[in-house]
Amino acid sequence: MQLAQNVVALAPQPSAAGRFSGPAGATIAEIRRLAASDLTPIVADIDKGAYPAAVLRAFGVAGGYGLHLTAGHTLGPTIESMAAISETCLSTGFMDWCQNTLVWYILNSDNEALKAKFLAPAAEGKVLGGTGLSNPMKTIFGIEQMRLKGTKVEGGYRIKGALPWVSNLGPDHLFGAVFDTDDGGRVMCLIDCADPAVTLKPCEPFLALDGTGTFGVQVRDLFIPQDMILADPAMPYIRKIRAGFILLQAGMAIGLVRDCVRMMEEVRPALGHVNRFLDVQPEDIAEKLAAIEAEVFELAATPYDPSDAFWKRVVAMRLEGGEATVAAAHHAMLHCGARGYVAAHRCQRRLREAYFVAIVTPATKQLRKMLAEMA
């Protein structure tokens, strides 16, 4: 059976055990259980392009998108639950990030009408969606031009433009977006994919991550009413949510690196006599992972820290997380050898997935630019 070869039942990770107790710990344990029972059997299908809507909704019912509400707006439990999912499947870990980031946006808005309408449905996974902030994040840091433009009209804005890739979308999904106005303003809003002014265009196949509900989005004269506006003006709000946006991505890195350590250990009984000559051993990756986890979970306890020093640590951590993920997947492949290179083994999937952590916004090159400019 191809599936049986492709996946391995997950053992609890020592580094994760006991980090969170109480209701958050129980939710994380349930997410981990669901990942083993419901996600593991379909991970190969997701890799081939199937969008796992039922599993994403089940994570919502289990409380996986409400952890930053119950955890007093700290992000550690959400990151740990995303890591538990990413240990099995990075595509689903990324969609967990998309959904949790959508909730993070709604939670931090001062628009009470928007919160009343969307916070509970998004936190419970009844409404699914994501975030189209790659282009704004690159625009703010001087890499691109803003792709969505708006004009103030009676009762809101009318916007148009196109975004090349937005994930965790479908015909009834929502996502966060930013547009510049012709009078010099910048506004952050929610876009409803069900609106006839919004068209989802299928993307060309990717190297991995094809099951992530990723589309090109075209927006033609879409009306954004007041109750879809997250922040106007957007910039003070973006400064408030930006550390959380990046910190949450650490869940993907931590989960994938944990699985790479596990793969290296799995082949040790058969190949340890020769693998010991490789210059990077599972203990080296595990040591690096422990240092990253310590930094991530400390930063995640204070996601609203406005200081420059905190922001710099967040950006540096994100860079290190992306680079450690690619390195771990590379070394896992060297340890697994030919058995990891066959299409049915998860090692080659994990290697393809790993590059996504390093290229999703903020990508490695953007992070290096940001750090260079901070210096």
Ligand X SMILES: Cc1cc2nc3c(=O)[nH]c(=O)nc-3n(C[C@H](O)[C@H](O)[C@H](O)COP(=O)(O)OP(=O)(O)OC[C@H]3O[C@@H](n4cnc5c(N)ncnc54)[C@H](O)[C@@H]3O)c2cc1C
CB of 132 to ligand X, least distance (A): 4
Tokens 């992306």 appear where?
Answer: 322
- Which of 20, 65, 165, 297 touches ligand X (CB under 6 A)? 165
What's the burial of 103, exposed, middle or buried (CB within 10 Å: 0-12/13-18/19+)?
Answer: buried
- 27 vs 167, beta carbon nearer ligand X: 167
Strands (E), 167-316: 174-181, 186-192, 198-202, 215-225, 229-231
What's the burial of 22, exposed, middle or buried (CB within 10 Å: 0-12/13-18/19+)?
Answer: exposed
Residue 214 in contact with ligand X, rule: CB under 6 A: yes
Residue 326 in contact with ligand X, rule: CB under 6 A: no
| Residues contacting 70, CB < 8 A, separation 6+ | 23, 24, 27, 63, 77
Q: Which of 313, 317, 262 is nearest to 286 (CA)?
A: 262
Residue 206 in contact with ligand X, rule: CB under 6 A: yes
- Binding to ligand X in span 79-98, by CB under 6 A: 98
How many angstroms separate the CA atoms of 179 and 146, rounded?
7
CB of 167 to ligand X, least distance (A): 3
For residue 195, the SS3 value is: coil
Which two tokens mark 166? 């937005």
88 neighbors 39 (Cβ within 8 angstroms): yes
Give the binding range for ligand X (CB under 6 A) out of 68-76, 124-132, 223-231, 265-273.
Answer: 124-132
166: phi then psi, degrees, rounded to nearest 5: -135, 135
CB of 210 to ligand X, least distance (A): 8
Q: Which residue is nearest to ligand X (CB)?
A: 134
- 104 vs 165, beta carbon nearer ligand X: 165
Give the binding range for ligand X (CB under 6 A) out of 46-54, 208-216, 238-246, 272-280.
Answer: 208-216
Residue 325 in contact with ligand X, rule: CB under 6 A: no
Residue 99 in contact with ligand X, rule: CB under 6 A: no
CB of 105 to ligand X, least distance (A): 13
Q: Give me the 139-158 binding string for ligand X, x by CB under 6 A, dash otherwise.
A: -----x--------------
Residue 133 in contact with ligand X, rule: CB under 6 A: yes
354 neighbors 290 (Cβ within 8 angstroms): no
- 146 vs 316, beta carbon nearer ligand X: 146
CB of 363 to ligand X, least distance (A): 4
| Residues contacting 357, CB < 8 A, separation 6+ | 90, 249, 252, 253, 256, 321, 322, 325, 326
90 neighbors 353 (Cβ within 8 angstroms): yes
- Which of 260, 363, 367, 370 touches ligand X (CB under 6 A)? 363
Helix (H) or strand (E) holding 157: strand 156-166
- 315 vs 363, beta carbon nearer ligand X: 363
* The amino acid at 161: G
CB of 337 to ligand X, least distance (A): 28
- Which of 81, 134, 249, 348 touches ligand X (CB under 6 A)? 134
- 114 vs 367, beta carbon nearer ligand X: 367
Pairing of the two strands 215-225 and 198-202:
antiparallel
How many angstroms separate the CA atoms of 241 and 303, rounded?
8
Give the binding range for ligand X (CB under 6 A) out of 256-264, 275-283, 343-351, 360-368.
Answer: 360-368
Residue 358 in contact with ligand X, rule: CB under 6 A: no
Give the binding range for ligand X (CB under 6 A) out of 26-34, 302-310, 330-338, 357-365.
Answer: 357-365
- Which of 8, 197, 271, 359 touches ligand X (CB under 6 A)? 359
Q: Contact positions toward ligand X, by CB under 6 A?
A: 98, 130-134, 144, 164-167, 206, 209, 212, 214, 359-361, 363, 366
